[in-house]
Structure 1
Amino acid sequence: MKTACISSSLVPSSTANSIQMMKVCHALSQVDEPVRLWLPGGGSAAWSDLALQYGLTQSFEVRWLSSARIFRRYDFAWRSVTEAQRWGAQRLYTWMPQAAVLALRRGLPVILELHDRVTGRLGPWLFRQFVQTAGKKRLLVITRALRNQLETQFGDLSGLDIQIAPNGVALEQYDGLPEAPSARAYLGLPEKPTVVYSGHFYAGRGVDLLVGLAAAFPQASFVWVGGRREDLEILHRRLEKQNITNVVLTGFIPNQQLPLYQVAGDILLMPYERSIAGSSGGNSADICSPMKMFDYLAAGRAILSSDLPVFHEVLTPQNAVFCPPEDLSAWKEALAELIEDPARRQQLGSQARRDAENYTWRKRAERALLNFA
């Protein structure tokens, strides 16, 4: 069946929403091609460049449509749904409520995926229109906590086809990777206990804790993978000022190469704070499903994570060690114990890798399309 995907994400981009969206489209194309993706803007990119940046193996068509900022993507929603129908799309997969409502009203089956609360002046109205408009439809939400938030906001949604769809991982990217010492040697990293963080350094990601841990463990190597240039410049100055010399800042690493850096670590950090800036501008700490969590599981290394309730939808005491957010003393104690206990690290990592099997992007796509003609 022809699946049209419509997203407002920018491509190419290193933002999480852009990476997630491209991973979803890639998985959909693996499960049931053809897939065609429409994006706003006048962009273009060679498939080889997209494949490297996003870690993709099977190609799908990407098209960009112009969009005037003054119309807040509503013009893009109308044009993209129209183009999808001209293409002969048999279903629509979108992250945009305005495109979902328009497609339903035109008779297309629609899967709408949400990652955050419904906010803004028109957001709640659009969501109610999606719920109330007749037609074949399914709602995907990334956590049970988000579903609960939506039901608190909009009332009983039991009549709506809702699927809990945590983010996923391309498990094949982690197959056949070397053990940590060999990965470190290949990347030119020192052979010493290695603690890895991958991701951005936005508000709520635990930067103060990362710096505090690096200062407290000079005998270990800390590898921080990713980040925007402006954030890295601030971090570099901060590390210099505190005379912290055991941190490697890699900058942006293409998704295809990211797994090698993660498996180079003995311990992988998820130091989220109690408040995480979400796409809506609010706090997403109680509803989020970070992609790094699934990458870390697939890497098969010990995970040290902030103890946020929503993470327990995926992480367990068998595959991760939990610490109170922002509590540097507790994190130092937990990290010291893991550094000194390779058997415990091996136990956690082995279970993490087994659990990752349940969270592949392909399985996620299969579930999303199941019985959805």
Structure 2
Amino acid sequence: MRIKYITNVRIPTSRAHGFAIMKMCNEFAKAGVQTELFIPSKGNNENKEDPFDYYKIDRNFKIEKIPSLDLLGSTLKFGRIFYWIDSLSFLLSAKLKINLTAGDILYTRDFITTLFFSKKDFIALELHSVPTSRFLFKLALKKPKIFFVLNDYIKQDLVSMGVNPEKIFISPSGVDVNLNKMAVSQEEFKKSFGLPLDKKIVLYSGQFYSWKGVETLADSAKLVPETCFVFVGGAEPEFSSFVEKYKNVHNIKVLEFQPKEKSLQFMLVSDVLVIPNSGKSRISSHYTSPLKLFEYMTSKKPIVASNLPSIREIVSENDCVFAEPDDPESFAEAIKKVINNPDLTQLISQSAYSKVVQYSWDKRVKNILKNIQSML
């Protein structure tokens, strides 16, 4: 078996999917599978660092860059049009460049990719959501031999569109379960980022998209003025817009995207970790399986999370405190409950950690390979 992983993604990237793709290839290779990652050659990628160095991942697989246009990297003026032109140039080049032979598994997270390869090829499609525009998506569903989805909601959507349920396997996101063993001096770390030493720290780490619910959490900060709310991450244009909107809220501190190691250290020096996903978007309410939630669970710190079906697929009241999505008052009350309840904090933190062990990257990959083998 050989894995040929194809993705139309700029790598490296500050977005979580970049790390997940690299980590999956790394784990495939660790499992003894010859692995190649095919990515577009994006001349306008602002991050020129070597992907293996950037993500601190072993060089146990090959990365091959496929020549492609990068109009979207030059301007956002014609975003949707340029996205499709760039994507088509990458996929046409990939089709010409990549030779699939017996024993090759074409693995991808991009359903459009499947349309450029033959149904005779062994295609494994990993899906993290179901698009609202479904014409091309339904065509793409005819190609894969096997599907890996984040949760049962995505599986049921595929079944309703005619996919054989025996070809669909649920595979939630993965995590390094040893993240909490990272060494960090709380006082020194807080001082280096200008964080208060005498206040509780509530942390959100991730992107600032509307469906992530960051504004709900920021609004809740006004209701817990004695606590410092730290937001780490984001990308433009959402980052600048968020900073501008909340620049006058005294107990909010916003920091730009941090390297993976720093991001994890923020979790270890914080007192409450928050997943404030909105309930207004289906990708948030039903499809997502947040990498950040799994990382939070490894930290042995208490979690406050939106009460959504997608989140409840992973955790229960035993593992976190739920707040109602899009409700700042509910989040403020949940955060206060955690801060004022040390016994509860210890119980839910330990329960979350005990549960997250089953979601390690190596277990995820071993299950995926076992399921692929069963379909060969």
2:213 pairs with 1:217: no
Query: Are the aligned partners of 1:52 and 1:254 in contact in 2 as well (CA < 8 Å)?
Result: no
**For 1:211 and 1:47, how far apart are their aligned partners in 2?**
33
Opposite residue 127 of structure 2, the aligned amino acid is L
Shift of 1:294: 0.8
**For 2:99 and 2:153, how far apart are their aligned partners in 1?**
34
Query: Are the aligned partners of 2:289 and 2:311 in contact in 1 as well (CA < 8 Å)?
Result: yes
Shift of 1:141: 0.6
**For 2:152 and 2:186, how far apart are their aligned partners in 1?**
34
**For 1:143 and 1:261, how far apart are their aligned partners in 2?**
28
Q: 1:371 to 1:117 in 2, by over 3 A?
A: closer
2:237 to 224, 230, 237: 230
**For 2:163 and 2:243, how far apart are their aligned partners in 1?**
49
Q: Secondary structure at the match of 1:4?
A: strand
Partner residue, 2:137: 123
Q: Residues 274-300 of structure 1: CA distance to partner in whole angstroms, max 9, x if unpaired?
A: 123xxxxx7542221111111111111
Shift of 1:343: 2.1
Q: How is 1:182-197 mapped onto 2 (pairs within 5 angstroms)?
A: 184=190, 189-191=195-197, 192-197=199-204
Shift of 1:184: 3.7
Partner residue, 1:164: 170
**For 2:42 and 2:329, how far apart are their aligned partners in 1?**
49
**For 1:184 and 1:202, how far apart are their aligned partners in 2?**
26
Q: Secondary structure at the match of 2:143?
A: helix
Partner residue, 1:268: 273
Query: Are the aligned partners of 2:30 and 2:60 in contact in 1 as well (CA < 8 Å)?
Result: no
Opposite residue 273 of structure 1, the aligned amino acid is S
Q: 1:172 to 1:104 in 2, by over 3 A?
A: farther
Opposite residue 240 of structure 2, the aligned amino acid is E
Q: Residues 68-111 of structure 1: CA distance to partner in whole angstroms, max 9, x if unpaired?
A: 56666355335435544379863221123354465554x54332
Q: Secondary structure at the match of 1:14?
A: coil
Larger displacement relative to structure 2 (74-83 or 107-116)? 74-83
Can you give the 5+ residue segments of structure 1 that lack an aligned partner in the other structure? 132-136, 277-281
How does the TM-score come out when normalised to structure 2?
Answer: 0.84
Larger displacement relative to structure 2 (298-307 or 63-72)? 63-72
Q: How is 1:95-106 mapped onto 2 (pairs within 5 angstroms)?
A: 95-100=109-114, 103-105=117-119
Q: 1:141 to 1:86 in 2, by over 3 A?
A: closer
**For 2:51 and 2:271, how far apart are their aligned partners in 1?**
30
Partner residue, 2:295: 295
Q: How is 1:87-102 mapped onto 2 (pairs within 5 angstroms)?
A: 90-100=104-114
Query: Are the aligned partners of 2:306 and 2:324 in contact in 1 as well (CA < 8 Å)?
Result: yes
Query: Are the aligned partners of 2:148 and 2:169 in contact in 1 as well (CA < 8 Å)?
Result: yes
Query: Are the aligned partners of 2:278 and 2:284 in contact in 1 as well (CA < 8 Å)?
Result: no
Partner residue, 1:279: none
2:154 to 146, 161, 166: 146
Larger displacement relative to structure 2 (342-351 or 36-45)? 36-45
Shift of 1:202: 0.9
2:126 to 93, 97, 113: 113
**For 1:369 and 1:151, how far apart are their aligned partners in 2?**
22
**For 2:368 and 2:101, how far apart are their aligned partners in 1?**
22
Q: 1:14 to 1:89 in 2, by over 3 A?
A: farther
Opposite residue 251 of structure 1, the aligned amino acid is E
**For 1:50 and 1:146, how far apart are their aligned partners in 2?**
30
Q: 1:297 to 1:179 in 2, by over 3 A?
A: farther
Can you give the 5+ residue segments of structure 2 that lack an aligned partner in the other structure? 70-81
1:77 to 82, 87, 91: 91
Query: Are the aligned partners of 1:3 and 1:34 in contact in 2 as well (CA < 8 Å)?
Result: yes
Opposite residue 207 of structure 1, the aligned amino acid is V
Shift of 1:333: 1.5
Q: Residues 218-264 of structure 1: CA distance to partner in whole angstroms, max 9, x if unpaired?
A: 22121111011433322332223xx3222221201112332101111
Q: 1:235 to 1:100 in 2, by over 3 A?
A: closer
**For 1:221 and 1:55, how far apart are their aligned partners in 2?**
30
Q: Residues 149-171 of structure 1: CA distance to partner in whole angstroms, max 9, x if unpaired?
A: 1122x13623x421101111122
**For 2:347 and 2:159, how far apart are their aligned partners in 1?**
38
Q: 1:27 to 1:182 in 2, by over 3 A?
A: farther
The number of aligned residues is 357
**For 1:98 and 1:244, how far apart are their aligned partners in 2?**
43
Q: What's the C-alpha RMSD, in Å, of the aligned pairs?
A: 2.8
2:252 pairs with 1:247: yes
Shift of 1:273: 1.0
Q: 1:52 to 1:253 in 2, by over 3 A?
A: farther
Same amino acid, percent of matched pairs: 24
Q: How is 1:255-334 mapped onto 2 (pairs within 5 angstroms)?
A: 255-276=260-281, 283-334=283-334
Query: Are the aligned partners of 1:78 and 1:99 in contact in 2 as well (CA < 8 Å)?
Result: no
Partner residue, 1:369: 369
Partner residue, 1:134: none
Tell me: higher relative CO, structure 1 or 2? Use CA pairs within 8 A at least 6 residues apart.
Answer: 1
**For 1:90 and 1:341, how far apart are their aligned partners in 2?**
53
